[in-house]
Amino acid sequence: MVAKKLSIGFIGTGIMGKSMVKHLMKEKYELFIYNRSKEKAEELINNGAQWCESPKEVAKSAEVIFTMVGYPQDVEEIYFGSEGLLNNASDGVVFVEMTTSTPTLAQKIYHTANEKGLHSLDAPVSGGDIGAKNGTLTIMVGGDKEIFDKVSPILSCFGQNIIYQGDAGAGQHTKMCNQIAIATNMIGVSEAMVYAKNAGLDPVNVLGSISAGAAGSFSLSNLAPRMLAEDYSPGFFIKHFIKDMGIALEEADKMNLQLPGLELAKKLYDELAEKGEDNSGTQALIKYWE
């Protein structure tokens, strides 16, 4: 006898969430979705996802609920508001919080959920719009191991590199490591492309050489071509990256840890945002030199 699939709720059907829901739909999960802007969910609704008018309605409809929104304050509202998830879910519901947020908030959700007979995981992702579309996201998970094991088959619908990192908050701490590595790498990628142009080289040919060598990275292979094509559409918004770098710097400060590379990257991105680039993709960093 085939076990019944768990019903799934998904809050946040933006650039990445929309693609992730599509993967769940392919696997025939019963889906309940909510997004602040309903028009961004119309395609999913037309293809069979059930629209909910509020997080409260999602909480009362699904057994496993994923959330992927913009900022920690959005997470706070969705989980702790009177119309939010924690105050309206039935016993045993599992929350999987995938927004890049603070480890402290992940732990707060975890403990409050446990007090109410609920469960939560913090499971931020990396891979951007490309990883979401291809189902190849990296997923970093914190929380109880048995709950992680329970939802792993669902996570595998949109991720390939899925690693349990430890207790609540560990997923978010791991994501901070990811963002720190990306931040300074984006400076290097941008400077390499600017250098190639100023040296009179064909930057496309240069990219073909260096992306396959020791300098290779996701950003070099996937975002440098967008830089060269002057395609600054967001796979990941600058405004959200600035938020992530701010969280990482705050956490580092709590550990009395200096991160000068991250501080420089945030300074450059802050300057771009002030010039109106906050809704551009992170590859727009190259505009700093132009």
Catalytic one of 175, 243, 266, 267: 175
Q: How far apart are CA 16 and CA 235, in angstroms?
A: 8
How many beta carbons lie within 10 A of that of residue 274, not counting itself? 9
How many beta carbons lie within 10 A of that of residue 228, not counting itself? 18
Outline where DSSP puts E strands in 59-170. 64-67, 94-97, 119-122, 125-126, 137-142, 159-166
Q: Which amino acid is at 43?
A: E
Give the contacts of 255 (CB within 8 A, at least 6 positions apart).
none
Partners of residue 140 on adjacent β-strands? 163
C-beta pairs of 151-158 under 8 Å, 24+ apart in sequence: 151/64, 151/94, 151/96, 151/121, 154/6, 154/8, 154/24, 154/29, 154/64, 155/96, 155/123, 157/20, 157/23, 157/24, 157/26, 157/27, 157/29, 158/19, 158/20, 158/23, 158/24, 158/132
Q: How far apart are CA 90 and CA 116, in angstroms?
A: 9
Q: How far apart are CA 28 and CA 173, in angstroms?
A: 33
| 175 a catalytic residue | yes
Provide the annotated active-site residues. 175
